[in-house]
Structure 1
């Protein structure tokens, strides 16, 4: 983000400074006021994605939520930060896994999704005038073995994440929308959480089963 990072609220700057250099991990705990889905046609895709901890197949209100940001060095020597979200939905908890890695040229963030990192997307980050953070996903790619293809717009989607800090409530607020250009809103959630910082320690349970080398 360069100088734009300094425009973020101080609490956001600390949360997004989690890394090996800081020696800190961050755990956010709170409640999603709403976890929502688009039309009925979305459900099969959400159910399929859920088998690899991508997206969440159930909707709900007042859903307890945890996000765990833990830095580590992956098998290719890259510093990686987990963004593992757990939604305590009725029946059983559901996870939405992602790992963020700096691109080889250091000019963008790569977001690897799921337990096997089959999906990857560029992330574009921007500080808003009120000190909040706006994150938008770019092109998605599917990678498995020799396969490395762009996900067509008909099947892909754009994610928009807005995160801010509410000084009055002393809580982070977050809103996420995943939208397909043709079919409209697919999935999202909105709510708030508090954050606690702890020294970094190994968390193999948060790491993917398979790691993707291609940037």
Structure 2
């Protein structure tokens, strides 16, 4: 079966740079994971207004409390079948002072990738994917829902943010480049980072999946 990103992009997947095709082709069928290591040139936030929210989110590995320049990081993309039988890909970003967890699945009804944020999948958001003119992948987050116990309710836009992620491959530098901006309708841009990284592909049959990249709790709702 094609990867979750191949299914969501359809024929547009072929427009991705070949290096991105392999990276976002990671899935159960490929039998490999992708582990990236690099440096964020800068991680920033809007200051005192948003830092309490970043600190709160960091308790469940949502968002990043680090800020500054030239900050090392790692991103781990491991595919696995979750307890609901869904093909899932981890997006675990680790920084010196914080960790940002996400797990992504393909939702057949929405015909979209759905991103579950945090160590307990308390927040779910559908993702809009597109390919830019240089073969890069653009990801835009949709309306977020809070999932806890019997609750599955939309989060008001005023207390959350919309993320735009741009990732492309720099042929000259032989590195992947990523830029992320999170914006709030009232406060404007509140958080972001940009940097670059290289990747290694890991054979799942030989190395398996680290237990610490999986969420502690899974939720089938979106």
TM-score normalised to structure 2 length: 0.93
The correspondence for 1:70, drawn from 66, 78, 81, is 78
Distance 2:60 2:84 in 1: 22
The correspondence for 2:127, drawn from 117, 123, 129, is 123
1:214 aligns with 2:221: yes
Count of matched residue pairs: 211
Moved over 4 A (4+): none
Shift of 1:105: 2.6
Provide the residue aligned with 1:58 in structure 2: 66
Shift of 1:58: 2.6
TM-score normalised to structure 1 length: 0.96
Provide the residue aligned with 2:199 in structure 1: 195
Q: Is the 8 A contact 2:66 2:95 kept in 1?
A: no
The correspondence for 1:17, drawn from 9, 17, 25, is 25
Shift of 1:203: 1.7
Q: Is the 8 A contact 2:54 2:65 kept in 1?
A: yes
The correspondence for 1:182, drawn from 165, 169, 186, is 186
For structure 2, the residue ranges without an aligned partner over 5 or more in a row are: 1-8
Secondary structure, aligned partner of 2:212 = helix
Shift of 1:33: 0.3
The correspondence for 1:34, drawn from 35, 42, 54, is 42
Shift of 1:206: 0.4
More helix by proportion, 1 or 2? 2
Secondary structure, aligned partner of 1:5 = helix
The correspondence for 2:160, drawn from 140, 156, 168, is 156
Structure 1 residues 158 and 87, CA, compared in 2 at 3 Å: closer, same or farther? same
For structure 1, the residue ranges without an aligned partner over 5 or more in a row are: none
Provide the residue aligned with 1:136 in structure 2: 140
Shift of 1:106: 6.3
Q: Is the 8 A contact 2:158 2:186 kept in 1?
A: yes
CA RMSD for the aligned pairs?
0.9
